[in-house]
Structure 1
Amino acid sequence: MAISLHWLIALLIFAGWGLGFYMHDLPLSPAKLRYYSWHKWMGVTTFILAFLRAGWLATHPAPRLPRVIPPWQTRTARITHFVLYLLMFLIPLSGWLMSSAKGVPTVYFGVLPLPDLIGKDKALGDFLVQVHKWLAFGLAALVGLHIAAAMKHHFMDRDGLMGRMVPFLKSPRL
């Protein structure tokens, strides 16, 4: 379950980034509005799946890291994972708040209208655009660090750690 949620959330995050960058500078059109709806759907779904994953993790703790991993790397991994989870909640929440402040409803999959979290406020909406953007850039940096660490463990350390999230993967051997 944890592995499936990990990769599904990763896919949604990458798709959300791609769509977010693509749609941002498009001229106003029906297509742009459709892309914004899709982007919101991805965000709401990521938010829900992150809660499911956090709940799963609370009841099914991840295996301990191998003892050969230095303590500073273990601490860094814990902090990074905590911040990744935090951002998986804060980014969709900031987008929802932004939509509420801008007076644009969030309708999940075009069927389920979500309540506005705050009243319409243009200045706050403009501020939340920046918050949403910079949180997403922060997430991108942490995901880059996460991927770099996975590659280091797989190709340099050859400790089999990456195989925990990619079960069919074996640690390379020379």
Structure 2
Amino acid sequence: MALRSTQTGFGPVTKGFHWVMAILIVLMFAIGWYMDLLPLGLEKLAWISRHKSIGILILFLAIMRIIWRISEQTPMPVSRNRWEIAVAKLSHLALYGVLIVMPLTGWLMSSAANFSVSVFGLFTLPDMVAPDPALFETLRTVHWALSWGIVGLVGLHVAAALKHHVINRDVTLRRMLPVVKGK
């Protein structure tokens, strides 16, 4: 079984990265919204810790996914419209960027608040900055804004996939589904 993508379809590693990260992103938003509703206490702190751990996991997977993406070919675009290809490339680049920057702002925010980032209790990341309440507030705003950036980019990504599937009736969506091989 070939692990790499071909000119006509995505390989299982690429599909795995795609769907694991999609699930983790949805999970992050659910945890983020839930923990914001909780009063300050042990339960909230436990959910914040989970949120941080999953954020660092997303950062790691995003870096690995970018390395994997650079190391293999990408299937040929189904669309022949140059603007669609350009928008797809730009939106993918923006999504990769925000999946790197978002966890980094969370890590910076924790450091500025003088809270360590423990990753699933296995190890603790070093602080990136000294405690700074003003920086913490700025980073919290940036982190919040980036979360809505992710919502917009993921919404665009899903809408484009559905447009290709329902309106264009092409293989764009099907070739990223985990159960579809090759084409």
User: Which TM-score tier does this pair reach, normalised by the shorter chain?
Assistant: over 0.9
8 Å CA contact retained: 1:153, 1:160: yes
Are 1:19 and 2:31 an aligned pair?
Answer: yes
The CA RMSD measured in Å over matched residues stands at 1.2
8 Å CA contact retained: 1:162, 1:169: no
Report SS of the residue matched to 1:161.
Answer: coil
Give the CA deviation at 1:62.
1.3
Question: Which of 158, 169, 174 is the aligned partner of 1:147?
Answer: 158
Query: 2:145: which partner in 1?
Result: 134
Question: Which of 54, 59, 79 is the aligned partner of 2:66?
Answer: 54
Give the CA deviation at 1:163.
1.4
1:82-116 per-position Cα deviation (integer Å, ceiling 9, x unaligned): 00000000000000000000001101111201000
Distance verdict in 2 for CA 1:41–1:162, change over 3 Å: same
Question: Which of 120, 130, 136 is the aligned partner of 1:119?
Answer: 130
TM-score (norm 2): 0.89
Are 1:39 and 2:51 an aligned pair?
Answer: yes
Are 1:6 and 2:22 an aligned pair?
Answer: no
TM-score (norm 1): 0.94
Distance verdict in 2 for CA 1:35–1:167, change over 3 Å: closer
> How far apart, CA to CA, are the structure 2 residues paired with 1:117 and 1:70?
44
8 Å CA contact retained: 1:87, 1:139: yes
Query: 2:110: which partner in 1?
Result: 99
> How far apart, CA to CA, are the structure 2 residues paired with 1:51 and 1:109?
19
Moved beyond 2 Å, runs of 4+: 167-170
* Number of positions where the alignment pairs a residue of Structure 1 with one of Structure 2: 169
Identity %: 39
Task: Select the structure with the greater relative contact order (CA < 8 A; seq sep ≥ 6).
Answer: 2
